[in-house]
């Protein structure tokens, strides 16, 4: 590759956890073509701050001149243990499109070159369905379970749809006509499966770009389905502050620390995209700590110079500022608000109706049963005839 192609390649692979088959991307660049790369997301729970990580990578891919496709995987959402019922899937896909566009705009990334594709727009075609049959005939149950182990919800006596999920994701690479797929490191088994499975039905291998995962607030990865692990992109400032305050962040430990991860994978890269790569931590009785690279922050945290008590308020303030444009866009977009209500309707609360207790006919004040003579009152007067 010449120096220009190398510079593009360096930007494409910047800050990735791993690249599988990088020579595929290098060959495309050497030919002078724009690599076509897709990132897919199953439209299930409401997107959270963890979505900044792929969005910021997509910003770099766009800057490197890549043609980027965002797959709104509505059928995948339904197949993954019915995480998105069919009657909600359409509006959830619209909601995701609004959110992802808003995330990119919030960090100053132009979205005109993005291509959004709805999974159901091509995954029901005769050609695609025939490929599902073909791949299903050469992939075993064990292979399908292994490929989807980190992505598809695993349950006892799981529905067959969970085995189809990885088959569809592998085929998406061919039917979207891409050179590479971007995803989190939790997708690695699926990416390896794609390398092995596609050639079995006559299709070429693709490269795979593995993004680091943002740790959740309660440990593990940040997940749409775990309320305590995430910060919703529409959470208000008080909610963000409370969630950050309650989050696990052990002193001197960087690994698996969700608060440190928010700085490393979201706040610092977002600041860089906006032209001022720094993260400030205010201190009451000393000068603020200013970080321009994550290693410096890691060192201070490990040495207890930067404590959880100092870091948490700074992270909360940074997230509130970062999400402000998204929330402002939501507040002024009545269409988005209507979509949100249809995509994530509030749970129906069934009010418990208290059954009247049957006390029988002998308690004071009871109406006499038909045919039963009324009892005289205690003072000897006859009961009223009203």
Per-residue pLDDT of 220-260, as tens digits, reads 667 665 666 789 999 999 999 999 999 999 999 999 899 99
- Confidence category of residue 384, pLDDT binned at 50, 70, 90: very low
Q: Which domain CATH number covers 277? A: 1.10.240.10
Question: Sign of the CA dihedral 304, 310, 316, 320?
Answer: negative
Give a yes or no: residue 359 inside a domain. Answer: no
Average pLDDT, the chain: 88
The pLDDT of residue 386 is: 39
367 domain residue, yes or no: no
Within 8 A by CB and 6+ apart from 176, the residues are 36, 38, 69, 71, 117
Whether 370 maps to a domain, the answer reads no
Quote the pLDDT of residue 45. Answer: 87
Which are the contacts of 36, defined by CB distance < 8 A and separation ≥ 6? 66, 67, 69, 176, 177, 178, 179, 180
Residue where one domain finishes, among candidates 177, 211, 245: 211
* Domain assignment present for 333: yes
Q: Are residues 118 and 180 both part of a single domain?
A: yes
Q: Find, among 207, 183, 170, the residue nearest to 58 by Cα.
A: 183
What is the share, in percent, of the chain residues with pLDDT greater than 90? Answer: 69
Based on the fold, state whether residues 153 and 50 are members of the same structural domain. Answer: yes
State whether residue 118 is helix, strand or coil: strand
In-domain check, residue 354? no
Do the domain assignments include residue 266? yes
pTM of the model: 0.84
Residue 145 lies in a domain: yes
18 and 151 in a common domain: yes
Given this model, what pLDDT does residue 99 score? Answer: 94
Instruction: State yes or no: pLDDT of 377 exceeds 80.
Output: no
Is residue 189 scored above 60 in pLDDT? yes
Query: 218 exposed, middle or buried (CB, 10 Å; 0-12, 13-18, 19+)?
Result: middle
Q: What is the pLDDT of residue 22?
A: 97
What integer pLDDT is reported at residue 210 of this predicted model?
97
Domain that holds residue 330: 227-343
pLDDT of res. 264: 95
Taking residues 281-294, report their average pLDDT: 95
**Do both 53 and 104 map to the same domain?**
yes
54 in a domain, yes or no?
yes
Same domain, 93 and 206: yes
In terms of Cβ atoms closer than 10 Å to its own Cβ (0-12, 13-18, 19+), residue 58 is buried
pLDDT confidence of 357, banded at 50, 70, 90?
Answer: low
100 neighbors 55 (Cβ within 8 angstroms): yes
Predicted local distance difference test score (pLDDT) of residue 362 = 62
**Do 169 and 53 share a structural domain?**
yes
What would the pLDDT profile of 343-354 be if each residue is shown by its tens digit?
999 877 666 666
Beta strands per DSSP E along the chain: 18-20, 36-42, 67-73, 115-118, 180-184, 207-211, 279-281, 289-291
Q: What percent of the chain has pLDDT over 70?
A: 86
Per-residue pLDDT at 347 = 79
Q: How many CB atoms lie within 10 A of CB 49?
A: 23
First to last CA, the chain: 103
Higher pLDDT, residue 373 or 186: 186
Residues 207 and 234 in one domain: no
Q: What's the average model confidence in pLDDT over 27-49?
A: 94
* Residue 187 and residue 315 in one domain: no
Are the CB atoms for 195 and 188 separated by under 8 Å?
A: no
The rounded distance, in Å, linking the Cα atoms of 207 and 373 is 92
CATH for 86: 3.40.50.620
User: Do residue 187 and residue 248 come from a single domain?
Assistant: no
Q: Note the pLDDT of residue 359.
A: 61
Domain count, the chain: 2
The 10s digit of each residue's pLDDT in 119-172 is: 999 999 999 999 999 999 999 999 999 998 888 877 777 788 889 999 999 999
């Amino acid at each position: 590759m010449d120096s220009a192609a190398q510079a593009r390649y360096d930007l494409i692979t910047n800050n990735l956890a791993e690249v599988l088959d990088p020579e595929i991307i290098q060959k495309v660049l050497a030919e002078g073509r724009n690599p076509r790369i897709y990132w897919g997301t199953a439209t299930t729970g409401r997107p959270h701050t963890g979505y900044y990580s792929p969005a910021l990578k997509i910003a770099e891919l766009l800057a490197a001149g890549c043609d980027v496709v965002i797959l709104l995987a509505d059928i995948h959402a339904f197949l993954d243990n019915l995480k998105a019922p069919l009657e909600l899937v359409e509006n959830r896909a619209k909601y995701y499109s609004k959110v992802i566009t808003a995330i990119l705009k919030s960090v100053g990334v132009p979205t005109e070159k993005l291509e959004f594709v709805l999974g159901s727009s091509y995954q029901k075609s005769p050609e695609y369905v025939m490929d599902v049959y073909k791949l299903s005939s050469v992939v075993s149950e064990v292979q399908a379970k292994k490929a989807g182990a980190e992505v598809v919800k695993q349950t006892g006596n799981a529905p067959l749809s969970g085995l189809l999920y990885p088959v569809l994701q592998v085929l998406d690479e061919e039917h979207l006509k891409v050179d590479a797929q971007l995803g989190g490191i939790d997708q690695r088994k699926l990416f390896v499966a794609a390398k092995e499975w596609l050639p079995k039905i006559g299709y070429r291998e693709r490269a795979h770009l593995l993004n680091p995962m943002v740790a959740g607030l309660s440990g593990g990865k940040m997940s749409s389905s775990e309320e305590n692990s995430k910060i919703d992109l529409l959470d208000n400032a008080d909610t963000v502050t409370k969630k950050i305050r309650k989050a696990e962040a052990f002193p001197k430990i960087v690994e698996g620390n969700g608060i440190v991860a928010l700085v490393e994978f979201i706040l610092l890269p977002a600041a860089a995209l906006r032209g001022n790569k720094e993260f400030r931590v205010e201190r009451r009785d000393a000068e603020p700590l200013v970080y321009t690279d994550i290693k410096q922050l890691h060192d201070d945290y490990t040495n207890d110079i930067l404590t959880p008590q100092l870091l948490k308020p700074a992270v909360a303030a940074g997230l509130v500022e970062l999400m402000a444009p998204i929330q402002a866009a939501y507040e002024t977009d009545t269409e988005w608000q209507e979509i949100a209500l249809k995509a994530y309707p509030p749970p129906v609360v069934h009010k418990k109706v208290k059954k009247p207790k049957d006390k029988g006919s002998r308690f004071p004040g009871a109406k006499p049963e038909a045919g039963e003579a009324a009892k005289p009152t205690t003072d000897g007067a006859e009961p009223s005839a009203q």
